Amino acid sequence: MHRANRTLATAGGLLLATALTCTGTAMAASAPVSSAAVAAADCRPLANAPAQAQAIVNAACSQIGVPYSWGGGSIHGPTYGQDYPGGGPGAHDSRVKGFDCSHLVQYAAWQGAGIALPEGTWNQARWSGATARFTPSQGTAPLQPGDLLLWGSDPANLGSVHHIAVYLGNGRMVEARESGTLVMVSDVRLNSQYAGALRIAGSEQPPTNTKRFMTWGTQVGLRPDPGTQRPPVGRLPGPTAVDVLCQVHGERVTAEGYTNDAWSYLPKYKAWISNIYIDDAAAWLPGVPNC
List, by residue number, the catalytic residues.
Answer: 101, 163, 175
DSSP letter assigned to residue 91? G
Are 131 and 204 contacting, i.e. CB atoms less than 8 angstroms apart? Answer: no
Contacts of 14 (CB under 8 A, 6+ apart): none
In the chain, the amino acid numbered 35 is S
| Cβ neighbours around 258 below 10 Å, total | 14
- Please give the Cα distance from 41 to 43 (Å, whole number): 6
Are 257 and 270 contacting, i.e. CB atoms less than 8 angstroms apart? Answer: no
Helix (H, G, I), strand (E, B) or coil at 255: strand
Distances (CA, A) of 57 to 115, 125, 147, 237, 259: 13, 18, 9, 30, 37
| Cβ neighbours around 47 below 10 Å, total | 14
- Please give the Cα distance from 132 to 143 (Å, whole number): 10
Of 63, 133, 129, nearest in space to 101 by CA? 63
Residue 100 φ/ψ, nearest 5 degrees:
-95, 180
In the chain, the amino acid numbered 69 is S
